[in-house]
Structure 1
Amino acid sequence: MRQSFDETTSRDFGAKHLPRVREQMAAQGLDGFLVPHEDEHQNEYLPDANERLAWLTGFSGSAGAAVVLKDRAAVFADGRYTVQVRAQVDADQFEILDLVEGGVPAYLERAPKGAVIGYDPRLHSPDALTRLQAAAARAGATLTPVETNPLDAAWADRPAQPQAPVVPHEDRYTGEAAAAKRARIGAAVAAAGADVALITAPASIAWLFNIRGGDVIRTPLPLAQALLAADGTARLFLDPAKATPGLADWLGTAVTLETPDALEPALAGLKGRKILVDPGVSSAWYFDRLVAAGAEVVRGMDPCTLPRATKNAVEIEGARQAHIRDGAALARFLHWIDTEAQQTLPDERQVAEALERFREATGALKDLSFDTIAGAGPNGALPHYKPVTRTLRRMEPGSLLLVDGGGQYLDGTTDVTRTVAVGTPSADQRRMFTLVLKGHIAMAVVRFPAGTTGHQIDALARLPLWMQGFDYDHGTGHGVGSYLGVHEGPQRIAKAVNTQPLLPGMILSNEPGYYREGHWGIRIETLQVVTPAEPIAGGERPMHGFEQLTMAPLDRRLIDVALLTADERAYVDAYHAEVLAKVGPLLDGEVLAWLEAQCAPL
């Protein structure tokens, strides 16, 4: 569980820590310094030792950045964290700005002319760095890499780097032996015109070697790097303290275990070799070292990314079973919300803790897949609100409760959102919920030809809202890993252009929503997997579709049946029948009776 940088973050961090950082900046002749949220591994969720942004500003969200200049500083967060960032950050020390609208590049365009602004090349990908360098140049400022991060030098009580045990992830969960993976990824490296691939993404390390760790909050990742040769042999750079007994035997003789300190000399020894590196996920430091070594850098996608995203039959079946198990926990939770909680009106933190208890009671939960989002009333209108002390609300009769959470199980990763009524919902609440539901159904039943991308079908989920003059400002779907990250690329469903076609085996969320600021929010999220293309009677081309994985009932009190078409009503009835058939056998007593009532035909 996260400890150091969550509820313990402090609004006076800036006043305490900014002077220390500026002192270190001055010692290096810097007029400014960039502080991204990402760490050396470009992780979304971080170990406490790498929570530089939280240490500096107090802001503990999973996306953000800061810029420190001599006389001013700014912290950036996106719309998911509007309330949280203002609750955690001292506005007297930091200007609070939007991460998406303009963001850090726009701020750098206002930097003093001639300013020298430092950055740690270990923390920025080349792709991100290019945009920042262009923005600074427009201001007449210069970005320069530093050998010693001034924030790290100022952080006297920095936690130690994690040393969580690294363990085998058995083939019965992965569906493919690590040796077979290395062979086919090695062949892909050769096909890309490279001799060796540098793998730095922890999720790719975990997937490629069939191992899991615990270095990263909410995600079973080991922090490590690897060099994979075209012949399938590999060098894995891993802290020896993390290696569990038998790990070397699990990896096999074709994999050499080396210490992290050996990585830099290994890169220096690649002179004349062609090295495949992903500029979107590997930091600029690696590129700098390879160029200095005289290696030829081949820029391309991490060769593990697509194979990891396209789940095999074993992984898909694991996902099904994980979601059925998780569905039983959700049924118990939703029953509690619909009965006891309607009387006691718990606060958001109590709601989140209850959901975690029900998941833990399965006996199979390894961790949550992210910190639970529980938004009561107006807090539900903040799409990625997280209960924090200063903003806690209780459930309120006449309002809505939005709960978004997930679990990490050995056979799969879950992520589900359900919105429920507290008391009797209004006609307006039912109307808006049903419009969101109509979009959700459209995305669940869509059929599409090979080559279709997520942004090409995103409008289907929005159309019922658009036709009434409404929309939502987040994506409709993100990829999900197999006992890995709850956010996984390259696939996604969103307005933004994404060139990655949706391929069989890819798991994505389906989560349209509507948010009425100051009142309540609605989101319906179900995970689904892309199915192989099949012919449609009378059609000419085979079409892909989605199989629903999440098994959790919808709040039927919020469904205005009159707004649904006959086909939409049939979908809801069929989905509820499937939920009851798969989850019902895991329940009994009052909870089973409640689920039967929830899943009755509309």
Structure 2
Amino acid sequence: MNVNQERIAKLQEKMQAANMDMYLVPTADFHQSEYVGTYFKVRAWLSGFSGSAGTLLVTRENAYLWTDGRYFIQAAKQLEGTGVTLMKMGEEGVPTVEEFIKENLPMNGCLGCDGRTIHVAEGKDFETLVQEKEGRFEYQDDLAGEIWTDRPEMSKEPVYTLDVKYAGKSREDKIQDVRDAMKEAGANVHIISSMDDIVWLLNIRGNDIIYNPVVMSYVMVTMEQVHFYVQEEAVSEQVRAELEKAGVVLHDYFAIYEDVKELADDSKIMLEDACTNYTLYKNLPGNVEVIFQSNPAAIMKGCKNETEMENIRIAHIKDAKAMCRFIYWFKNHVNSGEITEYSAAEKSLEFRKEDPDCLDLSFETICAYEANAAMCHYAPTETEYAKVEPKGFFLIDSGAQYWQGTTDITRTIAAGELTQEQKENFTLVLQGHIRLAMAKFQYGCSGANLDVLARGPLWERAMDFNHGTGHGVGYLLNVHEGPQNINWRMRANGRRGNTTPLEEGMLTSDEPGLYLEGKYGIRTENLLLCKKAEKNGYGQFMEFENMTWVPYEREAILPEMLTKAELVWLNEYHQKVYEIVGPMLSEEERQWLKEATAEIK
């Protein structure tokens, strides 16, 4: 047995002792975060699959891993020799986790999990499913944690405050806005579990999840106080004093599980079932009224205020300088034979860190050469990387956290000679990217309405990419932020629903791609700020303001494939890139940028 087989076997022993037939291990912390700290990487520790999304289901005899299309190639590689069966989500003939459990859980059987790592809606579904089998749903035990003897400690990085010159609104005003939303919903208590909403509300940041500046915490808002459940050693006296001045009372992080049991029977508690964990929900007194509603902070946070929007423009100009310098460096060194995926990732960070306002990356840099770029979320390491040769495509997807906001950009760069096929496919992806950036649409449209603009050129040739077209982006916060996204696939539940209307101030990515397994991958990404266009007798129209200012790879563009309007947009975009970024570069870099942004006819 390899190490992962041994770990799963130990879990199966625990299951047998507890008379459990199945044990569920999702990729989640106690707050349903997309990315999790090392303490919560139980699924990765057990299975060996390190991707950011996946669910492990262990039975008495076998183990199964569900993940989405971004990770099919990576998961297949990492699960080799573990005995874990890969279940490709969304593929024909592959059941969902719930369908699999329903089919395979025996009558009177037992399903177990750590209820803190599933959200309320999931817990209710599992409850119903198990009841149909006349079985048991055990959610109180962290069996996997019991066998992880050298488990890392839970992160408790220092909490710091975000000045109103960056936040644009005081924590007192934000708290009042949330209370107003509570009144409208008929609630007198609001439990917030999503850490990005919490730090936005309190104008604080932390570093408890790498690249996501959040704080391990819960908040319970009443009409009189704000109860902040946090690892208190992470909060300095200065930060505590600032919070207490705004009526925020600090408590121990885990105390909320007992405190909610003491809520008055006449409490009307508002919470979001896609963020609140099942154990916390089950601890609520039986007589209280629960109002399931999206956190009002989520939409408030998603619609950036004027100060945030102006700061975001500044952040992207800073980032454009770093990325243009990186591409110039890459082009001038690719023939040396010394560039690797890892050294390129380090170099891109070096350019960003030259700016004093850059605090960190916003996610792990994806630097992928040729076939590695076909793995959508591949990232090199210090010991595992490919050498870049002067031919084909090199893809870099990267971003940073600045005091002025969060960035995320992808460019596919020609490392050398390209084939006609590569140029055609690059142009198709760019065409979809441009069509979305050019969009003008009626207010009320969501990402589901716009997705076809980006996929259209590929769909016309019976091709596609297996990920969303766009995600919301936070302000010095999570690089993936709801409530909006751009994706044609409808979602029945979950925070990031693509039926959320696109509102003024929402920052969203535009990132179509194409991935040919074993050959190469292409992705092109800018961030777009939604804003109001004209209003007339037909209604309020909306459009996008581009935030990202980095040239596209002109060596890969076939202009004859673009429409006249698309070509005009491309040339105007490149002209603006040169106007904005050119003055910040050295003479040699500026000359390169002038050529890289020259008019394409």
TM-score (norm 2): 0.93
- Pairing partner for 1:187 from 149, 155, 180: 180
Q: Which residue of 2 aligns with 1:473?
A: 466
Q: Distance in 2 between matches of 1:581 and 1:159?
A: 49
The equivalences for 1:554-593 within 5 A come to: 554-593=552-591
Q: Which moved more, 1:573-582 or 1:142-151?
A: 142-151
- Pairing partner for 2:15 from 22, 25, 29: 25
Q: Which residue of 2 aligns with 1:54?
A: 44
The one-letter code matched in structure 2 to 1:249 is A
Contact 1:490–1:500 (CA under 8 A) maintained in structure 2:
yes
Contact 1:105–1:136 (CA under 8 A) maintained in structure 2:
no
Residue 277 of structure 2 is aligned to residue 279 of structure 1: no
Q: Which moved more, 1:552-561 or 1:27-36?
A: 27-36
Deviation at 1:435, TM superposition (A): 1.4
The equivalences for 1:191-340 within 5 A come to: 191-230=184-223, 233-251=225-243, 252-271=245-264, 272-292=266-286, 294-340=287-333
The one-letter code matched in structure 1 to 2:582 is G
- Pairing partner for 1:81 from 31, 48, 71: 71
Residue 62 of structure 2 is aligned to residue 68 of structure 1: no
Q: Which moved more, 1:343-352 or 1:294-303?
A: 343-352
Q: Which residue of 1 aligns with 2:364?
A: 371
Contact 2:411–2:523 (CA under 8 A) maintained in structure 1:
yes
Contact 1:477–1:511 (CA under 8 A) maintained in structure 2:
yes
Of all paired residues, the percent bearing the same amino acid is 33
- Pairing partner for 2:595 from 594, 597, 601: 597
Residue 349 of structure 2 is aligned to residue 356 of structure 1: yes
Deviation at 1:28, TM superposition (A): 2.1
Deviation at 1:109, TM superposition (A): 3.2
Q: Which residue of 2 aligns with 1:533?
A: 533
The one-letter code matched in structure 2 to 1:596 is K
Q: Which moved more, 1:499-508 or 1:247-256?
A: 247-256
Deviation at 1:440, TM superposition (A): 0.9
Q: Deviations over 1:549-568 (max 9, x none)?
A: 11111111111112222221
The one-letter code matched in structure 1 to 2:543 is G
Contact 1:80–1:385 (CA under 8 A) maintained in structure 2:
no
Deviation at 1:444, TM superposition (A): 0.6
Q: Distance in 2 between matches of 1:209 and 1:260?
A: 16
Aligned residues: 587
The one-letter code matched in structure 2 to 1:129 is G
Q: Deviations over 1:524-568 (max 9, x none)?
A: 1000110123248xx743311000011111111111112222221
The one-letter code matched in structure 1 to 2:500 is Q
The equivalences for 1:487-506 within 5 A come to: 487-497=480-490, 498-506=498-506
Structure-2 change in CA distance of 1:253 and 1:322 (3 Å): closer
Q: Distance in 1 between matches of 2:128 and 2:471?
A: 29
Q: Which moved more, 1:365-374 or 1:261-270?
A: 261-270
Q: Which residue of 2 aligns with 1:5?
A: none
- Partner SS state of residue 530, structure 2: strand
The one-letter code matched in structure 1 to 2:5 is A
Q: Distance in 1 between matches of 2:415 and 2:554?
A: 13
The one-letter code matched in structure 2 to 1:598 is A
Q: Distance in 2 between matches of 1:131 and 1:442?
A: 40
Structure-2 change in CA distance of 1:100 and 1:363 (3 Å): farther
Contact 2:443–2:539 (CA under 8 A) maintained in structure 1:
no
The one-letter code matched in structure 2 to 1:478 is H
Contact 1:377–1:396 (CA under 8 A) maintained in structure 2:
no
Deviation at 1:468, TM superposition (A): 2.6
Deviation at 1:93, TM superposition (A): 2.5
- Pairing partner for 2:450 from 457, 465, 490: 457
Q: Which moved more, 1:99-108 or 1:240-249?
A: 99-108
- Pairing partner for 2:543 from 542, 545, 557: 545
Q: Distance in 2 between matches of 1:410 and 1:268?
A: 39
- Partner SS state of residue 418, structure 2: coil
Q: Deviations over 1:214-248 (max 9, x none)?
A: 111110000100111245x3111111111023112
The runs of 5 or more residues in structure 1 that have no matched partner are 1-10
Q: Which moved more, 1:13-22 or 1:241-250?
A: 13-22
Deviation at 1:474, TM superposition (A): 1.4
Structure-2 change in CA distance of 1:470 and 1:85 (3 Å): closer
Q: Which residue of 2 aligns with 1:524?
A: 524
The one-letter code matched in structure 1 to 2:530 is V
Q: Which moved more, 1:169-178 or 1:98-107?
A: 98-107
Deviation at 1:92, TM superposition (A): 4.0
Q: Which residue of 2 aligns with 1:7?
A: none
Deviation at 1:143, TM superposition (A): 5.1
Q: Distance in 2 between matches of 1:524 and 1:123?
A: 34
- Partner SS state of residue 465, structure 1: helix
Q: Distance in 2 between matches of 1:389 and 1:248?
A: 39
